[in-house]
Structures are given as C-alpha cells and as structure tokens.
Chain A
Amino acid sequence: MLKLEPVIWVLFGAGMLVGGLLLPAFILVVGLAGPLGLVPADALAFERLHALVAHPIGRLVAAAAIALPLWGGAHHLRHVWIDFGGLRTDGWVGPLLYAVALVGSVFGILAVVRL
C-alpha cells in the first residue's frame, strides 16, 4: 500500500477538486430540482441527457465525475477512520475503501463506454 501512496494522493487531490466542481450541479439539478419538478420536463428527458453525456466531452466529464470523487472520498474516510480507530484496523479498512473506489472507477469507465 505504501508504494501506491503517491498515486492515491494524486487521485485524492484530483478527487477533491473535480468532485467539488462537478458534483454540486449534478446534485442540485438531477438530485433535487428534477425530482421536485422545478426543471423543464424536456431538460432531463432521456434523449437529451443521453446525447449530452454520450458526446466525447460529456463522456470525459462523466468519467471524471464518477471516478475521481470515489478516490477523494475513500482517502478522506480512511484518514478519518485512522483518526478515530487507529492504525490497527487500517490494514483492512484502507484496502476496502480503495477497492470500492477501484471497482466504482472500472464500472464508471464501462458506463461511459457503453453509452
């Protein structure tokens, strides 16, 4: 795990930045305004959003919005866990969190490829 630390730190920093820039808009529109009926119906229609995300730039943004926040979140949670629980359990908690990020990233790439 120690050898992977620099790679994880890069993904962690990028995850904080990209997550902070991309997620609020997604949550606000798709997670809140859409379900509450505040967004015009055709804006969140399948055809429009599929075309938007299937565009090469849309695929790139979607992949970044999925994968990088997973790594940022996993690394943050691991260190909160260390602060509270100590290193004794980090041997399985850290790999578990990074495994979630890794599997989520792979599925994220698959999701944008199969659009």
Chain B
Amino acid sequence: MSSLQPRVDAMKPRQAGPTRTAPARPPDQFPTQGRYRSYVAFGSCGIFLLLSGLLVLRAVWALGQGPAAWERLQHDFAHPAYLVYHVLALVGIVWFTLRFFRLFPKTQPPRIGPLRRPPDAFFRVALNGAFVVVTLGLVLVLWGVLP
C-alpha cells in the first residue's frame, strides 16, 4: 500500500486467523469521491455538534454568572470569527440533521418492540415535521415572539 493512501486497520483482526485474508485497504473512492464524500462530511459534522454544545454551555454558564458575563458573551459572539463559525455550524447541523432523518428509516427493524415497523413515510413526516416545529417554536421563543 502506498504511504499516500490512508491507513485502514479498523477492520483488521487483532490476531491473525487461520484463514489467509487480503490486507485491509480503503475503498477506491474513499474519502472524497462517490458516496464516501457525503459519508465523511456527515461524520465530520460531529465537530459542529461538539463545539456548539460547548458554546451552549458557555451561554448558560454566563447566564448563571450575571448580566455582565451575559453582555460579554453577546459582545464576543459579534466577533467575525464567531459569526463565520455560526454560519458554518448552522448549515452543517441542518444538513446533518436532515440527512440523519433521511437515513433513519433504513436503520429500523421490522418490529419495534411489540409493534410492526411503520412505513418509511411515517418516519419522514414525523422526523422532518418535528424538526420544523421544534426549530420554529424555539426561534419564536428566543426571538421574543412567544413568551
């Protein structure tokens, strides 16, 4: 394997088995072509979840510290670096969420507990509907339109 190729050992057994197997190698199109591009982008959106979770923590922590800390946070969020990050995070998380909801029905078994699996359309409507309702509701609350 060329040193330019990514190393793939995630599927490599820890000990050699009795049957000879070909060495693990990355799929031909990994990581930037074909379906691997969106697969890698989907996984990479984890950085937005992680950093945005920490930013919510910072906001709630500032609320606990008092008005001066909250003012300081709002001032910091007006910095261009934060604005650029928030634009990227918003696009990334919305795309990530809608892709997750699109993939979700494929991950469901024929039976969920005692119930038969609902049709794919049910999952699509329920998940995307929840996304629209929750996002819109929270935006209206934070915007001051709803109490």
Contacts and interface: CB of A to CB of B under 8 A. Distances in A.
B71 to A, nearest CB: 7
A34 B97 CA distance: 23
Contacts of B16: none
Contact of B53 (A19, A88, A114): A19
Interface residues of A, number: 66
B90 A35 contact: no
B134 interface: yes
A100 B47 CA distance: 12
Contacts of B134: 21-22, 25
A69 B53 contact: yes
Main secondary structure of the interface of B (DSSP, over half): helix
A75 B43 CA distance: 9
Interface of B: 6-10, 12, 30-31, 40, 42-57, 59-61, 63-64, 66-67, 70-71, 74, 77-78, 82-83, 85-87, 89-90, 93-94, 96-97, 100-101, 130-131, 134-135, 138-139, 141-144
Interface of A: 15-17, 19-36, 39-40, 42-44, 46-50, 52-54, 62, 65-70, 72-77, 79-80, 82-88, 97, 100-101, 104, 107-108, 111-112, 114-115
